A and B are shown apart, each in its own frame.
Chain A
């Protein structure tokens, strides 16, 4: 018997997701476990696997279109089944799911809601504050108001917010935009998430910044020694991951995150490493980094970064942790300060190791220096504590044997 295929909840708390592409076409036979489609969530690309043998009867949502989790995206026929009344199937599902699902007739793709105002309010928890003009323009563009961020008083959605939003779905003609001198790249789910989270962080998390210089002679010497016998080269960044994790264990009050009701203290040091990919930034997490060997950390980071660049991280591989490392040293950046990656309490911005004049016992010398800037969530961690942690971190970097014991 024919069944509807629904948009799964591929990552926690995601209300929407988009089909990146259908790996099968209508009429293709499916065996249980086959990949039917790739779904782009806010953070990663996930494969949608078939639960049982079937035939992909009908595709309801074209690639790139963001739909709500739970919305029908396709119809699966039983093998050999014919004469399926798709409209009836959808109508039945629609009736079950309450009156707010889009009306469907014989149209191959979902039509935007004709009447936005009541549907939006009924569908989403709480009221969506939007001007009448914004509601009407959103309806004309086929946009879900709840997906927009309002810039009016108290976050009210106004005309300019709707005008700034990309048009959803190919069924609506895009507003004509002059393309002289520029072109527009629609935001990916990942880009939107990065934007939303970083704005939220910078606007709501009270950041403060601590700057430290680490002398790198000992660490560089140790690394050279280690790499002489290591199968795979250990990078400076691997040492930094390790040093951060050990410092978090030594100053456990730093290994926390802020929640509205309580301060969450972590038992293990899970350190996230910011990885730049073509579609944006993602922060895979190295679990238990304090108790891992340098070569294991190195292998973990390489493996996670590789899959991050392919967009194939699983949610549990980028969620959690209390601390992020962002390293721009390979680009020759000397020093920068980073935006905290919520809900983390801190992020360490790492620059390049540079030869610099240093004063040692009153004498001018040339030293190898690494500058690190720690951004801290002041709600969770006070200045003195962060400074204490940074001193431990600096100590480990300058006497790296300390992190190996």
Chain B
């Protein structure tokens, strides 16, 4: 078995793993990356990116549908599912090749295969190149996560889907029931509803998007219901059976209905990919399928690190990438700040979109802070009216004592592109004073971000 020595090896080529490898290479470390499927990971191949491509098609369809309101006459628009899915796969493939190129550019040696720890500072890789032994004083595990399976509802591609099948449908199911009202469930609800499916969402928590601010959840729920999506919140699944080509789902809780579905999409959370990594007998501790790490992603085993979804919530690609940078810089002897979970923005690409960063109002209150809360609706924003995008609002939460921007919450068109303003503000530790003094361009929807800050201090100009 051939042996190779590196300074650092990354296991997993997703947005955590490949970023770790690039940063390590930039810092002069001889770096290898092991990936068993495709570079780019779930994010690029089966997650963030292909879903955005699908949702873009849904947006275009929706926009054409509303063309009349902009004074444009068009005939009825007809989605071509095959072409929509092909476009989504092409986008993923293009980016996949891009990551491949980045690895070459940074002289990162990529191994295709399955890696497992094989003693201290050592990995055994089984793959198409045969068995290899790779050695490095630092090994970063970035194996990610996968959809949680519900017993009796394992994906069969026919009646039961996970996100994988939902990304490459042959046809649009007539009646789609989505189990899980989190980000993934709500994004697919928006997509399939736009393509004509009758969509129901079942969520155990009392509200959809349960990690978002209450007002945001309520606004999105209202918008989805108005569009015709059925929401069953506060409902547990009592049982399911397949009868006459349809799934019957018995609910229990706030509704005791039995739902009929042609397809059930299970989007009920994720589990970490901790299996078969050779963690047994090492100091690496696993809790609820995730690896326990400290603020610099170190596990209980010296020289072994874990980042991204494998290392716990929030399950976000940009969190994985940031942890990758912190972890590698710490290894290289630099002095990075630990990741502040309150500065990790989160986006949901539903219709309407949701974007947020930091404390929700409820979290800030339960942390015992005195608050200044401001809200500004897009309905009062000139550009939004001109664009026909008056849905939604911007909400900001400040610490009344220090002026710290504790959190920001947005619903509406392209808010996912705007949240970065507040993220930077939080990162730079601006207070309300600097935000109030900032000049935002007119006419833009981002003016609502300024107005929300003004509103928190009872100074809003247009509301």
Contact = CB atoms under 8 A, between A and B. Distances in A.
Contacts of B402: 133, 136-137, 140
B4 interface: no
B431 A132 contact: yes
A132 B428 CA distance: 8
B434 interface: yes
B403 interface: yes
B337 A133 contact: no
B430 interface: yes
15 contacts: A131-B429, A132-B403, A132-B428, A132-B429, A132-B433, A132-B434, A133-B402, A133-B430, A136-B402, A136-B431, A137-B402, A140-B402, A159-B404, A159-B429, A160-B337
Q: How large is the interface on B (under 10, 10 to 19, 20 to 34, 35 or more residues)?
A: 10 to 19
B287 interface: no
Given A136-B402, A136-B403, A137-B402, A131 B430 contact: yes
Contacts of A152: 337
Interface string A313-337: 0000000000000000000000000
Given A140-B402, A159-B404, A133 B335 contact: no
A49 B401 CA distance: 44
Summarize B's interface: helix, strand, loop or mixed.
loop
A140 B399 CA distance: 14
Contacts of A151: 335, 337
A349 interface: no
Nearest to A160: B337
Interface in A130-186: 131-134, 136-137, 140, 151-152, 158-160
Please name the 3 residue pairs, one residue from A and one from B, whose CB atoms are nearest each other, closest first.
A131-B429, A133-B429, A132-B431
Nearest to A131: B429
B369 to A, nearest CB: 14
A132 B337 contact: no
Nearest to B333: A203
Contacts of A140: 401-402
Interface in B395-452: 401-404, 428-431, 433-434
Interface string A52-84: 000000000000000000000000000000000
A128 to B, nearest CB: 14
B437 to A, nearest CB: 10
Contacts, number: 30
Contacts of B403: 132-133, 136
Contacts of B428: 131-132
Contact of A134 (B337, B429, B433, B434): B429
A134 B428 CA distance: 10
A132 B335 contact: no
Contacts of A136: 402-403, 431
A131 B434 CA distance: 11
A134 B337 CA distance: 16
A133 B343 CA distance: 15
Given A132-B403, A132-B429, A133-B431, 10 more contacts: A133-B403, A133-B404, A133-B430, A134-B429, A136-B431, A137-B402, A140-B401, A140-B402, A159-B429, A160-B337
B433 to A, nearest CB: 7
Contacts of A134: 429
Interface in A253-281: none
Contact of A158 (B401, B429, B431, B433): B429
Contacts of A132: 403, 428-431, 433-434
Nearest to A137: B402
Interface in A187-214: none
Nearest to A152: B337
Contacts of A131: 428-430
Nearest to A153: B337
Interface string B169-196: 0000000000000000000000000000
A158 B340 CA distance: 13
Contacts of B433: 132
B164 to A, nearest CB: 40
A151 B433 CA distance: 23
Interface string B305-337: 000000000000000000000000000000101
B332 to A, nearest CB: 14
A316 B337 CA distance: 39
Contacts of B401: 140
Nearest to B430: A132
A256 B428 CA distance: 43
Most interface-central of A134, A136, A140, A158 (chain B CB within 10 A)? A136
A160 B342 CA distance: 14
A160 to B, nearest CB: 8
A151 B401 CA distance: 23
B318 to A, nearest CB: 19
Nearest to A157: B429
Interface in B330-356: 335, 337
Contacts of A158: 429
A132 B398 CA distance: 14
Nearest to A158: B429
Most interface-central of B401, B403, B428 (chain A CB within 10 A)? B428
Interface string B45-65: 000000000000000000000
A141 B83 CA distance: 62
A267 B335 CA distance: 40
